[in-house]
Amino acid sequence: MSARRKVLVAGLGNIFLGDDGFGVAVASRLLAGPCPTWLRVADYGIRGVHLAYDLMAGYDATVLIDVDCRGDAPGTVRLLEIGAADRAAGRADDGPVLVDPHGMQPQRVLDLLDSCGSAPGRVLLVGCEPADLTERMGLSPPVEAAVEPAVALVRQLWELGPAALTGALPLPAGLIAAAPAQEDRETGVRV
Q: Give the pLDDT means over successive 10-residue stretches in the chain (191 positions).
A: 70 95 98 94 86 81 92 94 58 48 57 63 91 96 97 94 86 68 40 37
In-domain check, residue 182: no
The pLDDT assigned to 154 comes to 95
The pLDDT assigned to 59 comes to 87
In-domain check, residue 140: yes
> How many whole angstroms separate alpha carbon 81 and alpha carbon 84?
10
Q: Which domain holds residue 48?
A: 7-166
Number of domains into which the chain is organized: 1
> How many whole angstroms separate alpha carbon 125 and alpha carbon 106?
10
Q: In this structure, what CATH number is given to the domain that contains residue 115? A: 3.40.50.1450
In-domain check, residue 178: no
In-domain check, residue 117: yes
In-domain check, residue 177: no
| Beta-ladder partners of 182 | none
The pLDDT assigned to 48 comes to 76
In-domain check, residue 189: no
In-domain check, residue 134: yes
The pLDDT assigned to 16 comes to 95
Rg (CA), the chain: 16
The pLDDT assigned to 114 comes to 61
Catalogue the E-assigned strands of the chain.
7-12, 39-45, 61-67, 77-81, 122-128
The pLDDT assigned to 106 comes to 60
